[in-house]
């Protein structure tokens, strides 16, 4: 029995490939807010803000959205909070 040739795969233009999301881009996780982290660590929201801003040590890594000075919106990556906990273990 003779095998039929496989139909050629349709040619994809490079411009369409650029528009597709590469597989290594995963959907980002939700960022935590001050209340989430305060509840998780069992401390006040003021404690979180002080340690995120660098006014107190140890520093809690955070992302500040808003003006450089004055009130801003602090957000935290879950991985950074986990690392903060690990770094504080004695």
Q: Spell out the domain ranges in the chain.
A: 29-88
The pLDDT value recorded for residue 72 is 76
Neighbouring C-beta atoms of residue 84, cutoff 10 Å: 18
CB 78 within 8 A of CB 32: yes
Q: Decide yes or no: CATH 2.30.30 for domain 29-88.
A: no
Q: Measured between alpha carbons, how far is residue 35 from residues 6, 11, 82, 89 in Å? A: 59, 51, 16, 22
Secondary-structure percent of the chain, ordered helix, strand, coil, rounded to 5 = 40, 10, 50
How far is C-alpha 43 from the geometric centre of its chain's CA atoms? Answer: 22
Q: 11 pLDDT band (50/70/90 cuts)?
A: low
| Residues paired with 63 in a beta bridge | 75
50-86 pLDDT per residue, tens: 999 999 999 999 999 987 676 779 999 999 999 999 9
């Amino acid at each position: 029995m003779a095998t039929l040739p496989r139909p050629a795969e349709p040619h994809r233009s490079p411009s369409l490939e650029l528009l597709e999301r590469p597989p290594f881009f995963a959907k980002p996780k939700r960022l935590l807010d001050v209340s989430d982290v305060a509840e998780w660590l069992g401390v006040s929201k003021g404690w979180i803000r002080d340690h995120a801003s660098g006014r107190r040590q140890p520093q809690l890594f955070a992302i500040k959205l808003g003006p450089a000075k004055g009130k801003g919106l602090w957000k935290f990556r879950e991985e950074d909070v986990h690392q903060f906990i690990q770094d504080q273990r004695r």
